[in-house]
Every structure is written in C-alpha cells, then in structure tokens.
C-alpha cells in the first residue's frame, strides 16, 4: 500500500468517523477510575471500589477482545463477556510480573500507568480495525435498547435449548464471581501480622559485619525495619553495648554491664520498609556484644534493664564483637 494511501486511511479512521459508544464508555470509565484512585476524600470511599473493580476484572480483557474481534459475529456476545473477564484476570498478573523486573516494582503508580497505557493502545487498535469494516459489519453495543438486544444475543431463539441453558449458567457464574470479588476486595482478610527487623553490613548485604572493633572508630551498618502489621506503627530502636560473661555451670551468658548508645523513633505506614544507616561505635574497651532492640508503641520505663529489657522488646538482634 502506498505511504500516502496508508496515511489517508489512518486519518480517515480516527478523524472522519464516529467513535464507537462502547470504546468511548471504556475511556471515560478509565478516567473516572484514575480520579477515584488519586482524588483525596473520594479515594477512601466505597466509590473507589465500585469504579476500579471493572478496571481490573473486565476492561483490559474487553479492550483486548475488541482489538482481536472487531467484526459483529466473530464471537457471540456471551463469549465476548466471558473472555473479557478471563483475559483481564490473566493480563493483570502478567503486567505485575513484568513490573517486578523493572526499577519501579509493583507499586500503585506503575500499575496504574501500565494499565492505562495497555487499555488505550487496545482501544486505538480496536477502533482502527472496526473503521476498516463496512458500517453494518462492525461490532457495536446498541445502548438505546441494551437490555433487549443483549438478551436476544445471549439467549438467541436460533440457539438450541442446551446452548441457552449453558448461556444462562454462564451469566449466573459471572454475576456470582463479580459479587464475590467485590466482597473480598471491600472486606480483605487480614494476613499474618509481623515486623521485619534485620541488620545489613556496610554494603547492604547480609555479610561483612564488624567483629573486631577499635574503640572510638565508626563502623557503618544498616538497620532494616519492615511494617507488615496491617496498620501504621510507631517504632523505637534502642542500641546497647554489653559486657557479658559466659557461665559454664548454666551454659548461658550473664550480663555484667549494659549501657545505652543510641535511640531512634519513627513511624512506618502499612507495608512500608525503612533502611536506616547506623554507625557502630564503642568508646571504651571491655564490651563484647552490641544489642539492637525494637519496640512497637510500648516502650518499658528506664527502670527495666538488663535481660528484662531485652525480653520486653518486640524484636531483638545482636552482634558479637571484640573491642580492642
């Protein structure tokens, strides 16, 4: 096809023909979904779920089917609806898998951008392919008589009794699936509640921890805290330097001295992780252990010391060191 003819055909497709009502509705719904996600006040109301659930469970698959089957009669309406749900459930995880290998990860903004880009690309392809067909052969949804037309297409009189029964069962299954999905999303089941607490070496790896420490010298470390408590949590990290003595009779270590070195308080939102730089430093010799205590909202008084304070912490970590 000559270049000028191709350009003229594309121009005619997008600027000289009426846009299909179903694709316009999808575009408007997508815009409404973005507003519901990011607009303050609205994004914490049930309206957000009502608008965004179709964006995840139906619209991506519908746009892909519209791009693949632009012609009326390519597939039946019930098949188009069923494939829209099925493909949407397949597209979203694949999109998340792809984002997982990017620097942005599976976060809200990259997911919204990817979903928007995919949907609009499919809409443009679907519109272009429909524009190449004669007007009467293009797939369309007659919104003026939607109920009657859809009913006739799903439960066509030309279909056998078995096909009509199967179509009815499929419609019921789709409705039940949508209701269950909405319920699960609006009332999510809380998973296990826990907090990650770990120490990384100077290269942010689980290695290269200082064991021989010179008094007065600083040794860079990183303290990691991950909030998976299903709520915002205010944490307190305390670091203590200990002098311990091993008791051969009881096969345990006994604390001879325990002195504080640093305190750090901060708040993490749900599913937020903080990697905090920390410089390990000991001013005097005679100590042999560094203790890291994590408290969540309940911090004991200064009268609780020694092993009682360690046991009262929410999480605790330690490094065995040799101070010289």
Give residue-wise pLDDT tens across range 126-166: 988 888 888 888 888 766 545 555 555 555 556 666 766 77
The least confident of 58-62, 87-91, 169-173 is 169-173
Beta bridge partners of 257: 243
Residue spans in the chain of domains classed CATH 2.60.40.10: 194-323
Instruction: Confirm or reject CATH 3.20.20.80 for domain 194-323, answering yes or no.
Output: no
Beta carbons of 291 and 311 less than 8 angstroms apart: no
- Checking phi first, is residue 73 left (phi over 0); if not, alpha (psi -120 to 50) or beta? left
The least confident of 12-16, 106-110, 127-131, 147-151 is 147-151
pLDDT for the residue numbered 47: 82
28: phi then psi, degrees, rounded to nearest 5: -65, -40
Residue burial 150-160, b: 16+ Cβ < 10 Å; e: rest? beebbeeeebe
Q: To which residue do tokens 């470390």 refer? A: 221
pTM, two decimals, is 0.53
Those residues with Cβ within 8 angstroms of residue 115's Cβ, 6 or more apart along the chain or in another chain: 55, 56, 60, 92, 95
Closest by CA position to 225, among listed 199, 251, 245, 203? 199
133: DSSP letter? S
pLDDT for the residue numbered 11: 59
| Beta-strand runs (E) in the chain | 194-200, 212-213, 218-228, 233-247, 252-268, 273-281, 289-296, 315-320, 322-323
18: DSSP letter? P
Closest by CA position to 209, among listed 156, 134, 278, 311? 278
Residues 250-286 pLDDT 10s: 777 888 889 999 999 999 988 889 999 999 988 888 8
């Amino acid at each position: 096809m000559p270049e000028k003819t191709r350009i003229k055909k594309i121009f005619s497709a997008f600027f000289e023909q009426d846009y299909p009502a179903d694709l316009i509705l999808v575009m408007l719904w997508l815009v409404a979904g973005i507003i519901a996600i990011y607009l303050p006040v609205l994004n914490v109301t049930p309206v957000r779920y009502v608008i965004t659930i179709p964006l995840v469970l139906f619209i991506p698959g519908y746009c892909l089917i519209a791009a693949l089957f632009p012609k009326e009669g390519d597939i039946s309406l019930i098949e188009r609806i069923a494939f829209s749900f099925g493909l949407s459930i397949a597209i979203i995880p694949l999109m998340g898998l792809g984002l997982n290998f990017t620097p942005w990860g599976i976060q809200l903004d990259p997911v919204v951008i990817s979903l928007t880009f995919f949907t609009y690309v499919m809409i443009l392809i679907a519109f272009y392919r429909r524009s190449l067909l004669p007007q009467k052969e293009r797939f369309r949804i007659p919104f003026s008589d939607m109920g009657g037309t859809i009913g006739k297409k799903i439960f066509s009189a030309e279909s056998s009794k078995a096909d009509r029964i199967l179509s009815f069962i499929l419609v019921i299954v789709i409705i039940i699936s949508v209701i269950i999905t909405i319920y699960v999303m609006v009332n999510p089941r809380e998973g296990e509640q826990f907090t990650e607490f770990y120490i990384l070496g100077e290269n942010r790896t689980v290695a290269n921890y200082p064991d021989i420490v010179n008094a007065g010298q600083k040794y860079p470390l990183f303290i990691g805290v991950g909030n998976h408590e299903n709520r915002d949590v205010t944490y307190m990290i305390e670091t203590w330097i200990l002098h311990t003595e091993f008791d051969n009779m009881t096969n345990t270590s006994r604390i001879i001295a325990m002195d504080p070195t640093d305190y750090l308080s901060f708040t993490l939102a749900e599913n937020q992780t903080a990697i905090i730089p920390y410089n390990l430093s000991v001013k005097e010799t005679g100590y042999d252990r560094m203790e890291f205590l994590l408290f969540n909202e309940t911090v004991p008084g200064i009268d609780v010391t020694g092993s009682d304070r360690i046991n009262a912490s929410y999480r605790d970590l330690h490094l065995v060191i040799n101070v010289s």
